[in-house]
Structure 1
Amino acid sequence: MSMKSVLVLRDLTKKSTKHVQAIIKYADSQKGYSLMEAFIALTVLLMLSSLIPLLFIPIQKPPPITQLEETSLFFSMLGKEIREGKSIEVNNNSLSVTLSNGNVLNFSRYHSLIRKQVNGFGHEVWVQNISEMVLKKHSDALFAVKLIDTQGKEYERYFRRIE
């Protein structure tokens, strides 16, 4: 390598170093953010904020027990049908309510459901997740309905007909 080429190389290195130093000095003198830096910061913020709901999963309350609510509503609606009915018959674990217009409502267990049928037709689900329905007639005016859900919990209510 000749002396001339070494001097040229040194001059190029000095010029390159001066250019790099000038760029660094310019970048240091800038006080704001670039648009790209803002997008990157926003993206990181959104990704982190999407993880926040996962932190609350262990402290959330379990959902309310809907079986109790559904069974209470069933007993309430059944009481309304019994009050409006002319006569009630209990046979074969099925409850038949004869209305004043002649229609016969039948409440029976169908698989894991309690369903209502009108004159033997229809399939209106009144309660779900029931493993057993027990009807006991104590007298002409008093009978009991006991439901056992698929979890084994029992719900019982007495109904009295006032004529």
Structure 2
Amino acid sequence: MLVGMNAQRKEKSVRTFQNENGFTLIESLLSLVIFMVIISITTSSLSAFVKRNHKQGSLNHLEWDNFINEIQEEANTSSNQTVYSELLIFENSYEVPSSYQKYGDIVRRQVLGVGHEIVLQNISKIIFKKNGKNQITVKVVDLNGNIFEKNIRLFIN
């Protein structure tokens, strides 16, 4: 009798174990593929939507903010600044010059007169102007005629 009860328990536990349903590898892979297709369609449609809202020839505001932040950081760490109408040169404590200037319809950054780091695009005009000892005004006109202007404070040591 005891042996029969143990056999019934084993049989019962085997049956419940066999009745448990789970995901197979094929089901998991199929759901992963469907998820990836949905994500790729969503991202491509969003990027097309963003490009459609951005006017051709206009300056990107995020690009402008990054440009101003980069100039402000270089101004804070520079020991000397030279300002021409379309050229801005910062010299660090090791006397290594880095310059910002218009090149075609972009503004590029160069270090030691070499390199080609694009910092702004779709630019028709840029003007740098030194206001006193501790301020530089940056004025940019994009290809659509929109004007962006910012004053950069110089921290003199």
TM over 0.5: yes
State the shift of 1:141 in Å.
Answer: 1.1
| Structure number with higher relative contact order (C-alpha < 8 Å, ≥ 6 residues apart) | 2
- Find the counterpart in structure 2 of residue 115 from structure 1: 108
Aligned equivalents of 2:71, 2:155: Cα separation in 1: 15
User: By how many angstroms is 1:64 displaced?
Assistant: 5.1
User: Please, which of 78, 97, 101 is the counterpart of residue 90 of structure 2?
Assistant: 97
Structure 1 unmatched ranges of 5 or more = 1-55
The aligned counterpart of 1:87 is: 80
- Where does structure 2 lack aligned partners over 5 or more consecutive residues? 1-44
Using the size of structure 2 for normalisation, the TM-score is 0.62
For the aligned residue pairs, the C-alpha RMSD in angstroms reads 2.2
Residues 48-81 of structure 1: CA distance to partner in whole angstroms, max 9, x if unpaired?
xxxxxxxx9xxx6743576111111111111111
Equivalences for residues 52-67 of structure 1 within 5 A? 62-63=52-53, 67=60
Does the alignment pair 1:132 with 2:125? yes
1:157 to 132, 150, 153: 150
What percentage of residue pairs aligned between the two structures are identical? 25
Runs of 4+ in structure 1 deviating by more than 3 angstroms, as ranges, are: 60-66
Work out the CA distance in 2 between the residues paired with 1:92 and 1:153. Answer: 19
> Residues of 2 paired with 1:151 and 1:92: CA distance?
21
Q: Which amino acid aligns with 1:136?
A: K
Amino acid at match of 1:122: G
Q: Secondary structure at the match of 1:101?
A: coil
TM, length-normalised to structure 1: 0.60
